[in-house]
Structure 1
Amino acid sequence: MSKAKSKAKQMKGKMKESVGRAVDDRSMEAEGRGEQMSGMAEGLTAKASERMKKSGR
């Protein structure tokens, strides 16, 4: 996954978390936090992959 897609996933998760908090839906809030964490992990993976390609491995 690209860094842009992972950032979009993080933003989507942040919005879902905010909406969940606003409507007092703990399940939606937790799901949003999970999407944020998933997006962060995918972003780190994409970044590491790019570094590997640049180093010629």
Structure 2
Amino acid sequence: MKNKSPHPKGGKLSGRLFSAEFLFCPFHDWKISLVNGVVQAPDQGSVKIYPVKVVENDLVITL
């Protein structure tokens, strides 16, 4: 996931709370899907998601 809030005021998303499939932005109280990057309604927006997989013992992120 790109490390930038989709909120117009921005903000970093790293180091934030997450649970199951969602990241919670404490700055704007937005709930963002870790699966597809979409912000839960009634808020709107999305964050770019990068595919991640484990190959042998390496973590591979496709940019």
- Report the TM-score when normalising by structure 2: 0.25
- Per chain length, whose mean CA-contact separation is higher, i.e. which structure has more relative contact order (CA < 8 Å, sep 6+)? 1
Larger Rg: 1
TM-score, normalised relative to structure 1: 0.27
Structure with bigger strand share is 2
| Greater helix fraction, Structure 1 or Structure 2 | 1
